[in-house]
Structure 1
Amino acid sequence: MADNKDNSTQQEAIENAANKKETVNKSASSAPSTRQADTSKKSSGNGLLWFVVLVIFLLVIGMAGAGYWYYLQQSNASQQTSIVQQQQLSQFNAIEKERTAINASLREVTQTNEALKNSLNELKSKNDALDIQLKSTLEQLNNMEGRRPADWLIAEADYLVRMAGRKLWLENDVRTAILLLVNADKRLKSLADPSILPVRAHLAEDIQTLQQLNPVSQSSVALALSGMMAQIDKLPLDTFEKPEDSDSNDTQLSESTDDWKDNLAKVWRSLVADFLTIKTIEEPVEPVMSLQAQFLVKEQLRLQLMHAQSAALKAEAGLYQQSLQYALTILNDKFKSGSTQVTGFVNALQNLMGTDVSRPIPSELASQQPLEKLLDSRVKQVFGQGASAL
Structure 2
Amino acid sequence: MADKKDNNQDSDALIPVTDEQHNETTTANTASPASPASKKAHRHRSRGGLWTILLLTLLLTLALAGAGYWYVYQRQSDNQALYDAQVAQQQKLEVLNRTNTTLQQQLKALETSKTELAKSVNDLVAKSETLSQQSEQALAEIQNMEGRRPADWLIAEADYLVRMAGRKLWLEQDIRTAIMLLSNADQRLQELTDPSVLPVRKLIAQDIQMLQQLNPVSHTSIALTLSGLLAQIDNLPLDTFEKPEQEATKDQVSESVSDWKQNLAAVWHSITDQFISVTRNETPVEPLMSEQQQWLAREQLKLQLMQAQSAAMNRQNDLYQQSLQSATALLEKKFAVGESEIKGFLREVQKLAAADVSQTLPQQMESQAPLQELLESRVEKVFGQGASAL
Structure 1, residues 102-134: CA drift from partner, whole Å, max 9, x if none?
321221222212221231232133224313422
Gaps of 5+ in 1: 1-74, 244-270
Partners of 1:154 and 1:188 within 8 A in 2: yes
Q: 1:224 to 1:82 in 2, by over 3 A?
A: closer
Cα distance between partner residues in 2 of 1:380 and 1:101: 60
SS at match of 2:289: coil
The 5 A counterparts of 1:1-390 are 89-90=90-91, 92-222=93-223, 224-225=225-226, 237-239=238-240, 275=276, 285-335=285-335, 346=346, 348-379=348-379
Structure 2-normalised TM-score?
0.58
Supply the distance in 1 between the matched residues of 2:79 and 2:234 (Cα, whole angstroms). 125
Q: What is the TM-score when the length of structure 1 is the normalising length?
A: 0.58
Verify the 8 A CA contact 1:240 1:285 in the aligned structure 2. no
Check conservation: 1:137, 1:382, Cα contact below 8 A. no
Which runs of 5 or more residues in structure 2 are unaligned?
1-75, 245-271
Amino acid at match of 1:307: Q
**Does the aligned pair in 2 maintain the 1:152–1:379 contact within 8 Å?**
no
Helix, strand or coil: the match of 1:297?
Answer: helix
* CA offsets 1:140-184 (integer angstroms, 9 cap, x no match): 324422211222212322332343334334443221221111011
* Percent of aligned positions that are identical: 53
Equivalent residue letter for 2:328: L
Greater relative contact order (CA < 8 Å, ≥ 6 in sequence): 1
Query: What is aligned with 1:266?
Result: none
SS at match of 1:213: coil
* Paired residue type of 2:110: V
Aligned-partner residue type, residue 174 of structure 2: D
Contact 2:165–2:177 at 8 Å: present in 1 too?
Answer: yes
In 2, Cα distance between the equivalents of 1:103 and 1:233? 92
Structure 2 Cα separation of the partners of residues 114 and 380 of structure 1: 43
For residue 358 of structure 2, give the secondary structure of its aligned residue in structure 1: coil
1:56 counterpart residue number: none
User: CA offsets per residue over residues 357-382 of structure 1, 9 Å max, x none?
Assistant: 12333454343344344444434885
Query: C-alpha displacement at 1:84, in angstroms?
Result: 9.0
Mapped to 1, the partners of 2:274 and 2:344 lie a distance apart of: 43
The offset of 1:384, in angstroms, is: 9.7
Q: Residues of 2 paired with 1:226 and 1:95: CA distance?
A: 89
Aligned equivalents of 1:316, 1:356: Cα separation in 2: 9
Q: 2:143, 2:344 → 1: CA distance? A: 75
Give the direction of change, closer, same or farther, for the CA distance of 1:335–1:89 in structure 2 (3 Å limit). closer
